[in-house]
Structure 1
Amino acid sequence: MDAILDQFRARIQAASADGTPLLLRGGGTKDWYGQHVAGDVFDTRAYTGVLDYEPTELVLTARCGTPLAEIEALLAQNGQMLAFEPPRFGAASTIGGVVASGLSGPRRAAAGALRDFVLGAQLMDGRGELLSFGGQVMKNVAGYDVSRLLAGSLGTLGLITQVSLKVLPMPLREATIRFEMDEITALRNMNEWAGQPLPISATCWQGGVLSVRLSGAQAAVKAALQRLGGDPLANGDTFWAGLRDQQRDFFAGPGQLWRLSVPSAASALVLRGEQLIEWGGAQRWLRVERGVAEDIRRVVAAAGGHATRYRGAHGEGAFHPLQPAVARIHERLKAAFDPAGIFNRGRMY
């Protein structure tokens, strides 16, 4: 594998020297995410393999091109999982792309986001230098946590060559229940339940129906079922897998799909279109035939959040505009890691 790294380094150095933009890509399952990117495709899949996995330590280290499916199968053999439930978007998805995209699934509100599980990473910067950040332990030294900074960077800072992730045991039991209720009632209940000792691992409201997943010990799930009531959903695993991988009809519909991030306690957002609400109210998806970005972002900002044009309008303005101070931090980081500006040019801002 050292020879592959040498090839990566030579290509990056050559691209930096002549200013050729590079489009970093693993399986290409998230090419649609973000803004339009121009550049020569830089395929990372040759650098593959799990480097270290010790189930008793709850830590796994893998190279960037390792298929996500391979990692999840290995963890499942030991009754463990990636608790942030990354969307898979197909069998070609790689762990490098998972970290670079920074996306988390239905369990995020209960278990934490992807970046919370990144313990360490290696990055090849625009000079071809291999930099190491963090480690393989569940503590980080004081200072700037660059390994977690890479989560969601969309490959704009450099090539993530390997990552170390914290993993967790699978729950002993899971059950899904459903309630018919309007949006306001669902938001109120989700926030009230979040403050109670209930083993809620995921929530989803759409079209007047609130679905709740309970995960944990047998006794805890049984007690929660008796306390909350609701109608049991027999195919709960299929429902949450479809939500996690965004294969439900809601995500495949026509028009634009917006991802809205707001405080969980925010009230209903008055916006045209159909909504799907996750994470106890903190993540809300908006499906609109035609969306005026300024109007959507104004409503979401008034609720204390931000809006991402997720699908259906691949181009400029996908992400919520940054405040000037934050934009300057982005620019300094980009200049430090990628001085020639070759990596995924323009994908974020």
Structure 2
Amino acid sequence: MDTVLKEWIGRVHDAVETQQPLRIRGGGSKDFYGGTPAGEVLDTAAYRGIVVYEPTELVVVARAGTPLAELEAALAEKGQCLPFEPPHFGAATVGGMVAAGLSGPRRAAVGAVRDYVLGVKLIDGKGELLSFGGQVMKNVAGYDVPRLIAGSLGTLGLIAEVALKVLPLPVAERSLRFALDEAEALRKLNEWGGQPLPIAASAWHDGVLTLRLAGAHAAVDAAQAMLGGEVVADAAAFWASLREQTHAFFAGGEPLWRLSVASVAQPLGIPGPTLIEWGGAQRWLRGDQGAEQLRSAAASAGGHAALFRGGDAIKASAGVFQPLSPALLKIHRNLKQAFDPHGVFNRGRLYPDF
């Protein structure tokens, strides 16, 4: 076993014995996301490197501390990518990418992080090194633990290694811009979403809908001819600004709320700046409109609301994530008990009491 893994296992055993939790941290790029976990920092940055990369098999295996930029550069050399466009927000790592489970603009077209996690090695709350899944899409027996780990914010275990499915880079891309109000943009997105169009991303803000087409040259050309619109000159920079939240919409210190709703939901009618992605299914709002109002509106639209960015005061009063129903809360507690019975990992990151 690697020396670093032995050290981590020793840290877990010590945490169990002293009843002092551990706070898992990779590049620290998503420290703002979720609650503030208690405990001593366990830094994963030292455990880095690509273990296996098989371009012909569309599979890569990397250690948790591997910089996300380093992995994406290696994939790009072979004309491949992580299709879900995970945000970096700084010095992101592979382990942090999976633990946070955040996807970028292309998510509605290709799926989320969890859809590309084939296997995972992790250290559980008893200090045992466990392996789940593998390096092929159909290697699943029993519970699909790799997908369960994606988005768990490190509360179920310490990720050591991840196997990921990758895809070729698109042959052609083109972005189009349309002047539409919110209601008409949502109507168009759902209309176009039901047609065989190579739509790879969408974003509406301040009366402008931007659409990204990706695929074969002929498919992109035909789609543009059908849809019309104005070609966006610096499209790569625009989509990167959404992925990394450097777009002007995200600037400033106002709370940032993320609402996941049914794509067909009408405008929510909540005051404040709004940006819509994922064909209408992800709606960002800026401001302090009140957690109860936002979560009620999201629930009425078939979804939920989370405080994506905000200070400690609003996190304490509003909570970060939508409160769970009793049934779901029981499932979460049972999972936490199974993977981390002593409450070692990231206590308070996902929900205040576990």
TM-score, length-scaled by structure 1: 0.98
What is the CA distance between 1:40 and its match in structure 2?
0.6
Please tell me the residue identity of whatever aligns with 2:289. G
Which digits, 9 at most, give the CA deviation of each residue in 1:180-221, with x for residues without a partner? 000000000000101111100000000000000000011110
Partner of 1:338: 340
Match of 1:107 in 2: 106
Unaligned runs of 5+ in 1: none
Deviation at 1:140, TM superposition (A): 3.6
How many Å separate the matches in 2 of 1:346 and 1:112?
Answer: 28
Q: Counterparts of 1:184-333 in structure 2 under 5 Å?
A: 184-288=183-287, 290-314=288-312, 315-316=315-316, 317-333=319-335
Amino acid in structure 2 at the alignment position of 1:222 = D
User: Residues 31-64 of structure 1, C-alpha deviation per residue, up to 9 Å, x if partnerless?
Assistant: 0100122211100011111000000000000000
Q: Which residue of 2 aligns with 1:46?
A: 46
SS of the equivalent of 1:320 reads coil
2:203 aligns to what SS in structure 1? strand
Cα RMSD for the two superposed structures: 0.9
Gaps of 5+ in 2: none
Q: How far off its partner does 1:142 sit?
A: 4.6
User: Mapping of 1:57-72 within 5 angstroms?
Assistant: 57-72=57-72
Task: For residue 270 of structure 1, report the CA deviation from its aligned partner.
Answer: 1.4
- Helix, strand or coil for the counterpart of 1:291? coil
User: Residue 119 of structure 1: CA displacement?
Assistant: 0.5
After superposition, the C-alpha distances for 1:158-198 in whole angstroms (9 at most, x for unaligned) are 10101000000000110000000000000000001011111
For the residue of structure 2 that corresponds to 1:201, the secondary structure is strand
Q: Deviations over 1:85-119 (max 9, x none)?
A: 000111x2100000000000000000101100010
Aligned ranges 1:81-92 → 2 under 5 Å: 81-90=81-90, 92=91
Q: Is the Cα contact below 8 Å between 1:256 and 1:291 reproduced in 2?
A: no
Matched, 1:159 2:158: yes
- 1:210 match: secondary structure: strand
Q: Look up the SS of the partner of 1:267 in the other structure.
A: coil
The amino acid that maps onto 2:172 is R
Superposed CA offset, 1:273-330 (max 9, x none): 1110000000000011x23111111111111110001112343310000010010010
Return the offset for 1:21.
1.1
Given that 1:86 and 1:105 are in contact with CA atoms closer than 8 Å, whether structure 2 keeps it comes out as yes
**What's the CA shift for 1:251?**
1.2
Query: Taking every aligned residue pair, what percent have the same amino acid on both sides?
Result: 61
Q: 1:16 offset after TM fit, Å? A: 1.0
Equivalent residue number for residue 133 of structure 1: 132
- Give the deviation of 1:141 after TM superposition: 2.6
Deviates more, 1:145-154 or 1:306-315: 306-315
Could you say what secondary structure the match of 2:322 adopts? Answer: coil
Report if the CA contact (8 A) 1:50-1:63 is conserved. Answer: yes
Instruction: Output the amino acid matched with 1:136.
Output: Q
Q: Counterpart in 1 of 2:20?
A: 20
AA matched with 1:333: L
Aligned length: 347
Letter in 2 for 1:204: A
CA distance in 2, matches of 1:147, 1:38: 25
For 1:131 and 1:252, locate their aligned partners in 2 and report how far apart those are by CA, in whole Å.
41
Contact 1:260/1:306 (<8 A) preserved: yes
Q: How does 1:68-83 map to 2 (within 5 A)?
A: 68-83=68-83
Could you say which residue in structure 2 is the equivalent of 1:170? 169
1:13 is paired with a residue whose SS is helix
Which consecutive aligned stretches of 4+ in structure 1 deviate over 4 angstroms post-superposition? none
Distance in 2 (alpha carbons) for counterparts of 1:137 and 1:148: 14
Q: Is the 8 A contact 1:256 1:312 kept in 2?
A: yes
Question: Secondary structure of the residue that 1:143 maps to in structure 2?
Answer: coil
CA distance, structure 2, for counterparts of residue 265 and residue 319 of structure 1? 23
Offset of 1:127 from its aligned partner? 1.0
